Structure 1
Amino acid sequence: MTPPPRWLRAASAPGVAPLLLTLLALAMFLPGFWLVPPLDRDEPRFAQASKQMLETGDYVDIRYQEATRHKKPVGIYWLQVAAAKITGFEADAPIWVYRLPSLIGAVLAVLLTFWTARAFTGPPVAFIAAAFVAMAIVVGVEARLAKADAVLLASIVAAQGALARCWLSARAKQSWGLVFVFWTALAVSIVIKGPVGVMVVGLTILTLVVFTRRARWLSSLRPIPGALYLLVLVLPWFVAIGIATDGGFYAEAIGRDMLGKVGQGQEGHGAPPGVHLAAMFGTFWPMAALMLPAAGAVIRDRRTAVVQFCLAWAVPSWIVFELVATKLPHYTMPLLPALAILTAYGVARAADMPPRRVLVWIAAALLALVPLGLLVASIAAPLYLGAAPSPAGVVLCAFAAPAGFFTARFLVRTRNLLGTVPRAGATALLIYVAVWGFVFPALSPIWISSRLTQAVAEVSQCADPEVMSVGFNEPSFVFLNGTDTRLAAPDAAVPWMQGAGCRILVIDAPYEAAFVERAARDGVSVTLAGRVAGVNINGGRTLDIGIYRKTEN
């Protein structure tokens, strides 16, 4: 194999690589981390449930207002609660505090990809693989959202890194350190997102055993003491929640959430097989652009340990995700590190075996079109929504678009995949700073909850008003305005406004005329104190929300 270039040897040097990868990950993940409001719907649901744990002191049951939230285990909520306590914000924590576990999980996933790849390859290839994970669009998204998936990714990569070393050694006895990492990471994946981590790791093991016809190495995982240790870690909460909910958690989490997603698309996210494969060229960009020209070297070396392990990691679980009816872009993220290691390996090997020109042209098109498309979107999206484009965002996108073009031109002219990587990384960094740091926060019409919460505070005649919302039920409004925010049907508005105390009603335009008419008929004097208009990011429906308070006589 051709020696790596000087910059890559320096970047992947012992002690230097983890530091540079951490800085790279933070550079990719931090733009917009504090600026973007809660992004409906999953993020504020997670954050609100964690907030209510802090408010009530109940760290076993999971609730969203009065409703149970029995879709995922408790792990991510505990981490978010810990973040709120450590930072000192407690229940008043802003959304970025609840995002800290995701940020840390994403950075760990990058570093653990490097560690996993080092089981098979030298530092240069491992560095490129980890950099691909840091650059991927989907990882950047999940690092900025207060959800479970970034932490799940880190736990799966940790388990796979330990598994890889046990498989490679083929010794009956392995160091207890690796065994501890494997079973601890698997336990973390269970308390974060149930069976997903077990499925990915289990299918990897099954595929390796079947296709290599070797199973003796499994004893190095110490399966009996390891499984007992795992049960000690995960059983206490699972027993406690079963008792607290009289089995209701399992009926909801397994019967309706997990199995429901398998059979039919939930919440409008159904899609046929093949959608994940098509979406990968966007969600895994810019790495996805280099996968095709790197594939030739991977296919030629298909009998090597690194290729066998990564294919066992990626292919079986990918098939499962394609067959599941419900599909979301982040579902395949646990398989990204396997593809990143394969692509990095193929990129390094391509220095000796240049890829076919047609594959290079396809890769170049993907590298150039994504930045160009985002430049157009940075101008068109705000104008479509009725907002002014962010000048800084447009300028940065205007730099990213030619950067993508010159990266593509370099690839076409040289067929140098390795030299393309830092150029693609620089383009990606420009895009993420532009989109997350400026373009996205400036799309004020979609941030209805933030503006509505501010408007309620401005028109209120008391410090802590009671608030009811009719026609606008997004979780971000509950999180920002407070747990006691009432989400009600139109018929409940007038009777509620008749009650004592400082009360404010926010009501969407389709229900407004009937409310005003009934209030007048029932002798309830109300005043229109303000309006907030915008576009609901979920479904794209235009909203025009009136803010009413009782008229003081």
Structure 2
Amino acid sequence: MLLLGLTLLLFIPGQMTVPPLDRDEPRFTQASKQMLERNDFVDIRYQDEARHKKPVGIYWLQVAAVKLTGHDATAPLWVYRLPSLIAAVLAVQMAYWFARAFTGPPAALIAGLFVAGAVIVGVEARLAKTDAALFAAILLAQGALARLWLAGEGRRTNGLAFLFWTGLGLGVLIKGPVAPMVVGLTVLALMALERKAAWFARSRPLPGVIWLVLLVLPWFVAITLATDGAFFREAIGKDLLGKVGQGQEGHGAPPFTHLAVMFAIFWPLPAYALLSLSTIWRERASPLVRFCAAWFVPSWIVFELVATKLPHYTMPLLPALALPVAVALVAGAGALASGEVRGSRRLSWVAAVLLALPPVGLAVVALAGPLALGVWPSPPGVVLVVIAACLALAGAGQILKGAPLKALPASIGAALFVAFGFWGYVGPALSPIWVSPRLVAEITRVTPCADPQVASTGFNEPSFVFLQGTDTLLVGPEANADFLAGDVAGSRACRISVVDATQEDRFLAQAPTKGLVPVLLGRVQGLNINGGDELDLALYGASASTVEKSEDRAGAVGAASGSGKASGADAPLAPDAAPAPDAAPAN
């Protein structure tokens, strides 16, 4: 119950206030949204493009969340995030359950706290995509596997076998081969360590595999028929093998990158792990350490060898590190930290820095980051993350005093204040990076039409498609001019062209050839968090002149060529809009 209450406090802030985070999250939510719009729950699509990358599990969970909360395809983002929130909460519970296979409640509670407080789990709990749900599925399978491995002869294990194969099947439906890889490598490593495989018979392999096939086969057959096998060619041939062989979408990195990144994304665990290394090594022959090593080491090696590296890839390995550290803390890491083991004072200083640095760095960013973006910091957000930094410093002080267990409450307290401060206030207040919601709000402001048609040139972020609507057109400048010139039915307020400044001259140059007199309705500026590019987006509508000229397109083109540019005082403007000082003239 303590872990349940704590995880809700850690994971709920920001669920409703943080806009969609490009690009993965809105791709998933948009595909789920289109399932609801099309009433097709087999084929996965992003606008008109087939999305053959991941299986259907997360989309079904998101669709179920929408329906169970009484919404339709227009559901707000937080509804699509519910499966990730619930999965993260369940994952913490299952981390405790997994730990209880090896140890008593105190160490199991600490292991659960490490999982709940980890930065990466908090991030994935707020993103409507696969990884939190995959984490929970893997923990279900691994918790059952641990008990199957430990079970004595003659013990009934049918229930554990059912949980094991069910977790594996859910993992396959959510993210394909990742769960079988992590779980399968654990099984193989345990067989190698034990030098026998007979214990795996407790998992009831034959009926288990049949149950697994029954779980996953119906959709795989349906998607194969619906796409004529294209799903597997894309998902395996391009997405999976592409990530193995080369860094996709700029996410390539050398080996040992994951190990370095873990010091940040597993916070606060790494500080305590460093203090516990000697204790864990002394207990390396124990069942607990052997199982956790079999879970952690083989999969970590695979993740390091895969060319594409993203921080969340190693999240399924977190409990395998959290449990031995928790047991070591209870069993004697205090002696290590107090200097009874040679060299431990140096480790204590390094551990103290590892514990204090992330919250202190976040406090600096919470103050300086908004100023760098040209906005004021959020006062409550800054106060809360500064308190988090103070708590982390207090925990670091306890580590230096040789009392790492006393540092743990301060660490979890810091995680709580970070959750409320950053996700609740600091993040949502960084308005320059939230371009899509501001752009949608500006479109709503400049048009009285309840459901405007929108075409975008130069700004193609999935978050914009999700927020504005599935029928949002992503086109080049020529096609965008065609789109706006086609507004000839007197409903010009219902067509809006969004044009990035880098494409604006081409768009305006095309206007006369289309018989178009564009009207600058507004501009939205900001910073694209994908790549850090500055954005300057113009919103254009068609003037009444466009309607008249459309009746004779050839005459309109000739008139535009003969009369020159309609600019400055001659350019028609929306009643409540004026061109920005640096706007290109309307041709």
TM-score normalized with structure 2 length = 0.90
After TM superposition, which residue ranges in structure 1, 4 or more long, deviate above 3 angstroms?
none
Q: For 1:522 and 1:167, how far apart are their aligned partners in 2?
A: 72
- Tell me which residue corresponds to 2:374: 386
Note the C-alpha offset of 1:421: 1.0
Structure 1 position 420, deviation (Å)? 1.3
Deviation at 1:521, TM superposition (A): 4.6
Q: Is the 8 A contact 1:170 1:217 kept in 2?
A: no
Task: Tell whether 2:341 aligns with 1:359.
Answer: no
Distance in 2 separating the partners of 1:161 and 1:448: 42
Say yes or no: does 1:540 pair with 2:532.
Answer: yes
Q: Deviation string for 1:108-139 (max 9, x for gaps)?
A: 10000000000000011001001100000000
Give the Cα–Cα distance (whole angstroms) in 2 for the partners of residues 84 and 352 of structure 1.
48
Letter of the 1:447 counterpart: W
- The equivalent of 1:491 in structure 2 is 478
CA contact (8 A) 1:307 1:342 kept: yes
After superposition, the C-alpha distances for 1:415-447 in whole angstroms (9 at most, x for unaligned) are: 122211111111111122111111100000000
Deviations 1:313-372 (A, max 9, x none): 001000000000000000000000111111111111225633321111111011111111
Shift of 1:170: 4.2
Partner of 2:214: 232
Q: Please state if 1:503 is matched with 2:495.
A: yes
Q: Residue deviations 1:250-271, cap 9 Å, x none?
A: 0000000001000000000000
| Deviation of 1:520 (Å) | 3.3
Mapped partners of 1:340, 1:479: distance in 2: 37
Distance 2:527 2:336 in 1: 49
Moved more, 453-462 or 343-352: 343-352
Corresponding residue of 1:152: 134
Query: What is the CA-CA distance between 1:523 and the residue it aligns to?
Result: 2.6
* Other-structure match for 1:427: 414
Give, in whole Å, the separation in 1 of the partners of 2:169 and 2:154. Answer: 23
Choose from 23, 44, 49 the match for 1:62.
Answer: 44
Q: Which residue of 2 aligns with 1:309?
A: 291
| Kept in 2: contact 1:170–1:216 (CA 8 A) | no
Is the 2:169–2:212 Cα contact (8 Å) retained in structure 1? yes
Distance in 2 (alpha carbons) for counterparts of 1:153 and 1:469? 36
Q: Retained in 2: the 8 A contact 1:530–1:548?
A: yes
2:520–2:541 Cα contact (<8 Å) kept? yes
Distance in 2 (CA, whole Å) between partners of 1:518 and 1:73 is: 42
Matched residue, 1:275 = 257
Structure 2 residue 61 is the aligned partner of structure 1 residue 79: yes
Residue deviations 1:272-328 (CA, integer Å, cap 9, x gap): 000000000100001111111011111111111100000100010000000000000
Q: After the TM superposition, which residues 437-452 of structure 1 pair with which residues of structure 2 at under 5 Å, given as runs?
A: 437-452=424-439
2:356 is matched with which residue: 344, 368, 376?
A: 368
- 2:31 counterpart residue number: 49
Q: Check the 8 A contact 2:52/2:231 in 1, yes or no.
A: yes
Which of the two has higher C-alpha Rg?
2
In the superposition, relative to structure 1, how do residues 173 and 243 fare at CA in structure 2: closer, same or farther (>3 Å)?
farther
Higher relative contact order (Cα pairs below 8 Å, separated by 6+ residues): 1
Give ranges in structure 2 of 5+ residues lacking alignment.
338-343, 546-587
1:129-528 aligned at under 5 Å gives the runs 129-171=111-153, 174-350=156-332, 353-355=335-337, 356-413=344-401, 415-500=402-487, 501=491, 502-528=494-520
Aligned equivalents of 1:518 and 1:92: distance in 2? 35
Provide Cα deviations, 1:447-493, integer angstroms capped at 9, x if missing partner.
00000001111111322111000000000000000000000012211
Aligned twin of 1:530:
522
Q: Do 2:500 and 2:537's aligned partners in 1 also have CA atoms closer than 8 Å?
A: yes
Per the alignment, residue 585 of structure 2 pairs with none
RMSD: 1.1
Deviation of 1:200 after TM superposition, in Å, equals: 0.5
Distance in 2, Cα, partners of 1:106 & 1:428: 15
Question: 2: distance between equivalents of 1:239 and 1:386?
Answer: 53
Please give the alpha-carbon distance, in whole angstroms, between the structure 2 residues aligned to 1:172 and 1:383.
66
Letter in 2 for 1:52: Q
For the 8 Å contact 2:140–2:163, the answer to whether it is kept is yes
Q: Percent identity?
A: 57
Q: Distance in 1 between matches of 2:152 and 2:460?
A: 55
Tell me which amino acid in the other structure corresponds to 2:56. V
For the residues of structure 2 that align with 1:174 and 1:314, how far apart are their CA atoms? 28
Q: What SS is found at the alignment partner of 1:267?
A: helix
Matched residue of 1:325: which SS? coil
Aligned to 1:9: none
Q: Which amino acid aligns with 1:390?
A: S
8 Å contact 1:166–1:174 — kept in the other structure? no
* Whole-angstrom CA distance in 1 between matches of 2:241 and 2:541: 45
Structure 1: give runs of 5+ residues left out of the alignment: 1-18
C-alpha contact (below 8 Å) 2:81/2:127 kept by paired residues: yes
1:224 Cα offset (Å): 0.4
Q: Which amino acid aligns with 1:371?
A: P
Query: Larger deviation: 313-322 or 350-359?
Result: 350-359
In structure 2, distance between residues paired with 1:256 and 1:517: 39
Q: Would the aligned equivalents of 1:321 and 1:331 in 2 still touch at CA under 8 Å?
A: yes
- Any residues of structure 2 matched to 1:60-139 within 5 Å, and which? 60-139=42-121
Distance 1:379 1:353 in 2: 38
1:80-110 alpha-carbon deviations (Å, 9 max, x no partner): 0000001111101111100000000000100
User: Which residue pairs with 1:6 in the alignment?
Assistant: none
Structure 2 vs 1, CA of residues 172 and 186 (structure 1 numbering), >3 Å: closer, same or farther? farther
Secondary structure at the aligned position of 1:533 is classed as strand
- Is contact 2:258–2:304 with CA below 8 Å preserved after alignment? yes
